[in-house]
Structure 1
Amino acid sequence: MAIGTAFCVIAVLVVVALASTGRISGHPRSRGTGDASRGYHLPDPAEGDRIAASLQDAVPTAPPEAPALPVPTASSTEVEDLPASDPLQASTIAATPAIGALLHAGDGNDPEHFCTATVVQSPNRNLVVTAAHCVYSDAFTADLAFAPGYHDGVMPYGVWVPSRIDVDPRWVADRDPAYDVAFLQVRRPGTDERIETVTGAEELAFGFVPSRPARMVGYPDGEDEPIGCQNTTEAYSDTQLRFDCAGFPSGTSGGPMLTDIDPANGRGTVIGVIGGYEEGGDDLTSYSSYFGPDIAALYDRASTAEVSPTT
């Protein structure tokens, strides 16, 4: 009986440990500086350079037979109608420049993408938004890069690595689903380019009315193209949005909920990212932390922090 009891206790501890590591368990901690208790991290530049070089060697940065996706520059005063998808089931959509996949270089095998992120407008023009659980579990995630416009196994706008990662300290303290949002300042090693000038950027909205027609986008694990679905976001609680649509599996975490999409350039306004309650939801419903004053304050901190685009 004692042996059986001990075995059960060990088994429970193992299950709890696995359940608490999130979707990026097993990755090494990122080297660098910063203060996790205050919710920010400055990755080691040499580590970022190594990750970028590894990914660039393993994955083409543009298709050999086609140029990179064009970045639309036109704009209009119109917004797309976003009727609910029928059926409410995610399906493959075309990649767009400002939305892409978070990747890790792995251990010498083919690189894998594990979450989704979006370029958003900011004073420094180098900011990406995703879910906090994509970049912080029990420590900030190492081996991390962003490939905007990722499609068909290629990275048409190159590899970008974080120079700063910001999450709310309350996410660090206890993974509070109200704060499952992260902002990353990114850089393209060897250049001083600002990602917003390369890919364009989506806008952000804070304090909006929760019920909004929206398009949700994400990159499923193991797939080379994004999926999307349209429906109306609804309030699930004071701190959570819900979006009912089937077929958003692992890998889509961090993907944007977009509204007010301009038909002239395809860009819109991010009102949420897949995460929050249950770290994103289940096969039928996705969630997002509500973009209220706390997320706005996190954005203000992340977007104005001074970080060199080359280090």
Structure 2
Amino acid sequence: MLGAAFCVAAVLVVVGLASTGRISGHPRTRPTGDAARGYHLPDPAEGDRIAAGLLGSSPAAPSGAPMPPVPTESSAAVEPLPVSDPLQAAPIAPTPAIGALLHAGEGDNPAHFCTATVVSSPNRNLVVTAAHCVYGGAFASDIAFAPGYHDGVMPYGVWVPSRIDVDPRWVSDRDPAYDVAFLQVRRPGTEDRIESVTGAEQLSFDIPPGRPARTVGYPDDQQQPVGCQNTTAAFSDTQLRFDCADFPDGTSGGPMLTDIDPANGRGTVIGVIGGYQEGGDDLTNYSSYFGPAIAALYQRASAAEVAPTT
């Protein structure tokens, strides 16, 4: 991402590498996992510690406590998505399946740095975000996902990754065609599947440009998401373009949604903020095009079942 408000350089001590994009600061990383093959299996004990620390510092719903209801109704209709006027992101209400990626930071104080989305999958525990949010020379080692995050509250609990999948071509040279990651997640102390708790957005591939879409993200200096509506366009064979201003640091990984059901607010993810310039500039957002390569990554992440750890 270019410009003072949209470009952040996070020095990764592990590898001496700087990363840019709509990401407010990289979490700690460790050179573990099979990076050459594009996947990582985080340490369950560390995940449990991270979740406990974040829950202890936030008014999140504790394990087993009632959570806000998730809409279950659906309709055959598709919500009209008129173009935002002005073309500028504005605060919107949080939704259960979209949330903030957190890293524990010093003293386990929560700080959100990217955006992620629960997507439908056979294992019912999959989240999509941008690859540059979770791999910057090494896999992130201290992250968690808070679906429906707002005002420091984690209403659907804290979920930590049990597996992270990125394309090996992102690992080898940060190719913007592959700036997408899938995370299998678990809620420590339970056998819950996140899709059963929050619901899930659908995921679609090979969708031609020119679709009305809503893009959503969590700015790092705000405590609720922002959104904007426009029509997607092709930037290149591997990049989707979405023109709208004011998606700053922290919105990386946020979904581009189309075909939104008015009965439940859920739609279909056709991109995530990332790709070219790792997200865009102060007027334009990009996404790696969800074509065959991203579909193959999704299939790999879905097939690699990781049992919840309780």
TM-score by length of 1: 0.90
Aligned partner letter, 1:289: S
Is this contact kept in 1: 2:26–2:133, CA < 8 A? Answer: no
Residue deviations 1:138-191, cap 9 Å, x none? 000111000000012100000000000000000000000000000000000010
How far apart are 1:86 and its partner, in Å?
0.3
Aligned partner letter, 1:116: T
Aligned partner letter, 2:250: G
Task: State the secondary structure of the residue aligned to 2:298.
Answer: helix
| 1:219-234 paired onto structure 2 within 5 Å | 219-234=218-233
How far apart are 1:60 and its partner, in Å?
1.2
| 1:239-258 paired onto structure 2 within 5 Å | 239-258=238-257
Where structure 1 has 5 or more consecutive residues not aligned to the other structure, the ranges are 1-13
How far apart are 1:87 and its partner, in Å?
0.3
Task: State the secondary structure of the residue aligned to 2:232.
Answer: strand
Is this contact kept in 2: 1:95–1:225, CA < 8 A? Answer: yes
Partner of 1:185: 184
Aligned partner letter, 1:273: V
| 1:132-151 paired onto structure 2 within 5 Å | 132-151=131-150
How far apart are 1:24 and its partner, in Å?
6.7
The alignment's C-alpha RMSD in Å is 2.0
| 1:73-84 paired onto structure 2 within 5 Å | 73-84=72-83
Is this contact kept in 1: 2:274–2:286, CA < 8 A? Answer: yes
Is this contact kept in 2: 1:259–1:269, CA < 8 A? Answer: yes
> RCO (CA 8 Å, sep 6+): is it higher in 1 or 2?
2
Tell me the distance in 2 between the aligned counterparts of 1:251 and 1:185: 21
Is this contact kept in 2: 1:31–1:142, CA < 8 A? Answer: no
Is this contact kept in 1: 2:157–2:187, CA < 8 A? Answer: yes
How far apart are 1:283 and its partner, in Å?
1.1
Tell me the distance in 2 between the aligned counterparts of 1:69 and 1:219: 20
How far apart are 1:108 and its partner, in Å?
1.2
Counting aligned pairs with the same residue, the percent is: 78
Tell me the distance in 2 between the aligned counterparts of 1:189 and 1:62: 13
Aligned partner letter, 1:29: T
Partner of 2:260: 261
Tell me the distance in 1 between the aligned counterparts of 2:163 and 2:108: 27
Aligned partner letter, 1:202: E
Does residue 148 of structure 2 align to residue 164 of structure 1? no
Partner of 1:29: 29
Residue deviations 1:31-59, cap 9 Å, x none? 76x31000000000001001000100011
Is this contact kept in 1: 2:104–2:142, CA < 8 A? Answer: yes
Is this contact kept in 1: 2:178–2:294, CA < 8 A? Answer: yes
Aligned partner letter, 2:286: Y
Is this contact kept in 1: 2:179–2:288, CA < 8 A? Answer: yes
Name the structure with the higher helix share: 1
Q: Which has the larger radius of gyration?
A: 1
Where structure 2 has 5 or more consecutive residues not aligned to the other structure, the ranges are 1-12
| 1:207-222 paired onto structure 2 within 5 Å | 207-222=206-221
Tell me the distance in 2 between the aligned counterparts of 1:177 and 1:26: 18
How far apart are 1:304 and its partner, in Å?
1.3
Residue deviations 1:2-35, cap 9 Å, x none? xxxxxxxxxxxx9xx5644764766432476x31
Tell me the distance in 2 between the aligned counterparts of 1:19 and 1:31: 16
Tell me the distance in 2 between the aligned counterparts of 1:160 and 1:75: 26
Tell me the distance in 2 between the aligned counterparts of 1:274 and 1:204: 15
